[in-house]
């Protein structure tokens, strides 16, 4: 009986903690969009989320970690949206690229661009925030592996390396889309980048049938 009560209390506390973390993320991202990361203080974030300043540091070590947390959430959403069907590698990668573009386009461009720069430039912090959640390359890799098993992708390079190469290509395109501010949708750029990758145009990095 006592153990069951303790378990329920722990679940409720965990739920409250997740709600608080979500409130902090939402408040911070809104402020980042309005003021920029550098001009936003932790005091402003906690005031907007209606929590004590110390609560912020229960969930994050620094305000930039909010961007990394959003990146981790985005990858989880991408993984959840991925179909487990037996589509050809090119079709599967194009579909994943379209989903990835849509998730990025749903956020403010400057914030999404800064998020990706934090991911690329602070790998140690990125892995810390990720914890046991997947990286983008880990979501891509099963498609590469399936394509290699079916003889549709060249097998002379590791699927991990190929997935990392496509990840870098996609992230570079997100940064370019965010910082150039062009009217062209991100999905167009990611589709083009994916086609180049699949066609082996990146110095022979990958050849996908």
CATH superfamily of 63-209: Tetracycline Repressor, domain 2 (1.10.357.10)
Q: Report whether CATH 1.10.10.60 matches the domain 1-60.
A: yes
Give per-residue burial for 126-163: e unless 16+ CB within 10 Å, then b. Answer: beebbeeeebbbbbbbebbbbbbeeebbbeebebeebb
Euclidean distance between CA atoms 171 and 113, whole angstroms: 9
Instruction: Give the pLDDT confidence score for residue 51 in this predicted structure.
Output: 97
* Mean local confidence (pLDDT), 52-69: 97
Which of 31-45, 68-82, 143-157 shows the lowest per-residue confidence on average (mean pLDDT)? Answer: 143-157
Strand locations in the chain (E): none
pTM of the predicted model, to two decimals?
A: 0.86
76 or 150, which is more confident: 76
* Mean local confidence (pLDDT), 28-53: 97
Token pair of 182 as six digits: 């062009």
Within the chain, all domains assigned CATH 1.10.10.60 are found at: 1-60
> C-alpha 69: how far from its chain's center?
8
Within the chain, all domains assigned CATH 1.10.357.10 are found at: 63-209
CA separation, residue 84 to residues 72, 90, 95, 142, 143 (Å): 21, 14, 12, 10, 9
Mean pLDDT over each residue of the chain, to the nearest integer: 88
């Amino acid at each position: 009986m006592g153990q069951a009560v303790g378990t329920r209390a722990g679940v409720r506390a965990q739920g409250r903690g997740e709600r608080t973390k979500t409130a902090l993320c939402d408040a911070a991202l809104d402020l980042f969009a309005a003021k920029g990361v550098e001009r936003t203080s932790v005091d402003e974030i906690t005031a907007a989320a209606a929590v004590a300043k110390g609560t912020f540091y229960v969930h994050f070590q620094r305000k930039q970690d909010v961007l990394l947390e959003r990146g981790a959430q985005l990858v989880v959403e991408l993984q959840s949206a991925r179909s487990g069907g037996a589509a050809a590698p090119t079709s599967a990668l194009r579909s994943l690229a379209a989903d990835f573009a849509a998730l990025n386009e749903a956020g403010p461009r400057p914030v999404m661009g800064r998020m990706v720069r934090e991911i690329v430039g602070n790998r140690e912090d990125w892995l810390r925030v990720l914890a046991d959640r997947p990286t983008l390359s880990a979501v891509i890799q099963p498609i590469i592996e399936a394509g290699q098993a079916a003889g549709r992708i060249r097998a002379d390079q590791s699927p991990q390396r190929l997935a990392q190469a496509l990840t870098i290509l996609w992230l570079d395109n997100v940064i370019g889309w965010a910082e150039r501010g062009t009217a062209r949708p991100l999905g167009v750029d990611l589709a083009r980048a994916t086609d180049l990758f699949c066609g082996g145009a990146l110095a022979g990095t990958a050849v996908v049938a």
